[in-house]
Amino acid sequence: MNKIKIAFIGSGYIQNYHAKGLKEQKDVELTTVVDIDLNAAKDFATKYGIPETTDDVLSLTTNKNIDAVIISTPNKFHAPYAIEFLKNGKDVFVEKPMAINSIVGEIMVEVAEEHKQLIMVGHMWRFDTEVNFIKDKIDAGELGKIIKTKGYGIHENWGPTGWFVEKELAGGGALADMGVHAIDTVRYLLGDPLPKQVYAKIGTYYGDYDVDDTGVIMITWDNGATSVIESGWWQPHTDGPEAATRLFGTDGYASVFPTVIKTKNGDCPGEYKPLMPEREEHCDQIIYTQQMEHFVNCIRKRSQPIPGYKEGLEVLKIVDAAYRSSEIGQAVDI
């Protein structure tokens, strides 16, 4: 394979980060932008020097000039579009959550495996320097056994509009939008354990829409750890920014955002705040650039990306179980 030819499905805000990241990769050609709003597609194409635009997604599925697609659309369309591209020999990068629910997520997995195509899911915090610094400490055993964690996927005094607040298009609210970041981040830090049980309280308190804007979720993992995840829009306060995670181990404590480690030497406690690269913004471009680099390398090597469909599907199972738990008022086994 020489140049990898990639098309954009959707031209919304997050696609700018993906486009900038792909522009940094060698031997990658951005071929096409598709959007139901053709003017938006043309504006995006002009911005990034992309030659073709269309408002017809399905016309691209059989296009032999495309090797892979970047899907960033309302959640409802993630699986249907991905499945058609996978069936036609295209690799797929799809924004989080992987699908509107785990049922259609499982169909995506089956199609990808049947047609030997790749799926990468946009859980980008796995590529963050500070997240990986703490993961290395956990993997080295410096915190001992992790007993509990707390994580945050919250917008403080802010919330989205448009399709994000329409259940039919989004599938869920703040949990599906923001909580998934905290869920995948802690799962990555813990070494990708499997969820065993979920208990959740989820509701709508801050806006007039048919999706959730507040949630507290408790996840029991198969490694014995327990994670509490808070999700929300328009919250008056959050204890940490997107994907912030606190981990409590038998031998110490670690925090991501702010990144801190606390350990004990005998009876003497100590705190370490590592010097990290300066961030231009919390969700910095470098995370997305490294994410796109991984996707491109996996296409060349024909190796399944991580996070891929396995990681994406586990997050969907947790989200589905959380909504079900909140509905029935009981813990749900996975």
pLDDT for position 107: 98
pLDDT for position 305: 98
126: left (phi over 0), alpha (psi -120 to 50) or beta: alpha
**CATH architecture of the domain covering 125-281+315-333:** 2-Layer Sandwich (3.30)
With residue 53 as reference, give the H or E element that holds it. strand 52-54
Specify the pTM. Answer: 0.96
The boundaries of every CATH 3.30.360.10 domain in the chain are: 125-281+315-333
**CATH architecture of the domain covering 4-124+286-307:** 3-Layer(aba) Sandwich (3.40)
The boundaries of every CATH 3.40.50.720 domain in the chain are: 4-124+286-307
CA-CA distance, 158 to 253, in Å (whole number)? 30
pLDDT for position 268: 63
Q: What is the mean pLDDT of each run of 10 residues along the chain (334 residues)?
A: 93 97 98 97 98 96 96 98 98 98 97 98 98 97 97 98 97 98 98 98 98 98 98 98 97 96 78 92 97 98 97 98 98 97
